[in-house]
Amino acid sequence: MPLINVIPGDKIPMAPMNVRLPAWRVPGWLLVLWWLARGLFRLTVLAIRYWWLTAPVALALWVRAEFGGLVLAGVVLTVATGCAAWWRWHPSSWLRFGWYPLVSRFRALFVYRRRWASVMATCGLATTFAGNRYVPQLLRVRGDRFGDELTVRLLPGQIPDDWGQAAERLAYAFRRRSGQARSTGRPDRVVVRLVRRDPLAAVVVPLPVADVPELDGLPLGVDEDGQPYRLRLAGSHVLIAGATGSGKGSVLWSLLRSLAGGIQSGLIEVWAFDPKGGMELAAGVPLFTRFTYDDPDSMAGVLEEAVKRMRLRAARLRGVTRQHVPTPEDPLLVLVVDELAALTAYITDRKVRDRIKESLGLLLSQGRAVGVHVVAALQDPRKDVLPFRDLFPTRIGLRLTEPEQVDMVLGDAARDRGALCDRIPESSPGVGFVVLDGVREPVRVRFAYLTDDDIRQLGRDYRRLCDDTDQEVTS
């Protein structure tokens, strides 16, 4: 090509627009080499990720090639015999460290990862940006005999409540009974629990009675992990809400049973209020120091006596301690109200109703530190019926009739976090969700069931050690 002398100020001649410069093309063999290297890299990554599947296959192929089929059959038989012996000798450790981890890996591969991207998109948990699709990463699957727990890395901008709202859709997408999401210790992760079989289907028998009740953890039932559920009464009030036949009596009598040892020794006094004429609580009269029913005026008077005792105790403990410790001389006072709405909304006498509301407001706002606790049950959770919801640190929701009632009882967004009280079947009385102040996720529990004979026997075995004149029953 001849050289062009360029004089300053002259224009440089340009090539015509229709002249194409020669394009450099990638040789075919180089493309083939690139795709082979890329495929080999992906296979290596998959082999390392699913080592629990590729390693046994590779080992079996090696044994078959080196020693023959008979040796391979002998190795397989030996491994199977060892697993069977392990299961027979110690089934709990076999399930925990052998069977469930293996089944969880297979479920992760063939149930969840196979459909993960499509399910995330249809459930609204995937997103697109600049033409690219972003899907939350499934980190781990841990299964047991009732369901699976999926640990997921959140996308930027997601919070655990987003997964709580989508948990039910995820359960149906993966053919599971129910779903619940909860946060973990790390802010970028969430755990989704998908249930295949209800772990609380069986009735819970009455739990053993301790001689000295542990007020920081009273055993009342069983949680979804099969462990005894312990409810903290010290420094708390308890609200129980549920429709007719939902099992409110199971919660009340399980609580009274767990307190029975302290009632017998005098560490605990129970004042019972049964506005429904004494039908529910009358069987436990030997356990109660005070028992009132039917007459609203007498119930208002007993509540005012409780307020007076609370104030006298507060004056005595002021400057000495910030938390009451029960003794036989200064026992813990537990007020049990079977139907709170009958005291706060259904009484026609306005003056009596105002007295009851005033006393309950004082007891709920000032009684925890001085050892005066309120345990109340109700059926109707409307605001005008339940004006003291926020004063109950512990709230229990059993079967409810409407989805809106869940948030009325357990707090805002409780249903989105998994407290599906309106989905509890009528065939499961005593199943409910427990929400504690300061704890985001509700806990699903089945409370122990006490028959009428169990309640009467409880009253005979743990009746208060006092004279008959020390007990007051007011109609």
Range scoring the smallest mean pLDDT among 32-46, 300-314, 330-344: 32-46
Residues 175-208: tens digit of each pLDDT: 988 888 888 878 889 999 998 888 888 899 999 9
SS3 assignment for 130-199: CCEEECCEEEEEEECCCEEEEEEECCCCCCHHHHHHHHHHHHHHCCCCEEEEEECCCCCEEEEEEECCCC
* Residues flagged as binding site for ATP: 242-249
Question: Is the confidence at residue 469, as pLDDT, over 60?
Answer: no
Given this model, what pLDDT does residue 252 score? 94
The whole-model pTM stands at 0.79
Given this model, what pLDDT does residue 353 score? 87
Question: Is the confidence at residue 310, as pLDDT, over 90?
Answer: yes
Measure the CA–CA gap between 233 and 237, rounded to whole angstroms: 7
Given this model, what pLDDT does residue 19 score? 56
Q: What 3-state class would DSSP assign to 337?
A: strand
Under DSSP, the state recorded for 291 is E
Token pair for residue 59? 């080992």
AA letter at 40: L
Question: Is the confidence at residue 124, as pLDDT, over 70?
Answer: yes
Residues 6+ away with beta carbon under 8 Å from 447: 204, 220, 221, 229, 247, 250, 251, 254, 430, 431, 432
Question: Is the confidence at residue 214, as pLDDT, over 70?
Answer: yes
The four Cα atoms 150, 154, 158, 161 give a dihedral, to 10 degrees, of 20
Highest mean pLDDT among 17-26, 192-201, 343-352: 192-201
H-run or E-run covering 439: none
C-beta separation of 274 from 338 below 8 A = yes
Token pair for residue 436? 């504690």
Q: How far apart are the first and last CA of the chain?
A: 119
Picking from 224, 228, 184, the residue whose alpha carbon sits closest to that of residue 420 is 224
Q: What 3-state class would DSSP assign to 228?
A: strand
CA angle 296, 279, 456 (to 5 degrees): 130
C-beta separation of 242 from 430 below 8 A = no
Measure the CA–CA gap between 207 and 220, rounded to whole angstroms: 7
In sign, the C-alpha dihedral spanning 204, 205, 208, 209 is positive
In sign, the C-alpha dihedral spanning 180, 184, 187, 192 is negative
* Residues flagged as binding site: 242-249
Which residues are 273's β-sheet partners? 292, 337
CA angle 26, 30, 31 (to 5 degrees): 75
Given this model, what pLDDT does residue 219 score? 93
Under DSSP, the state recorded for 205 is P
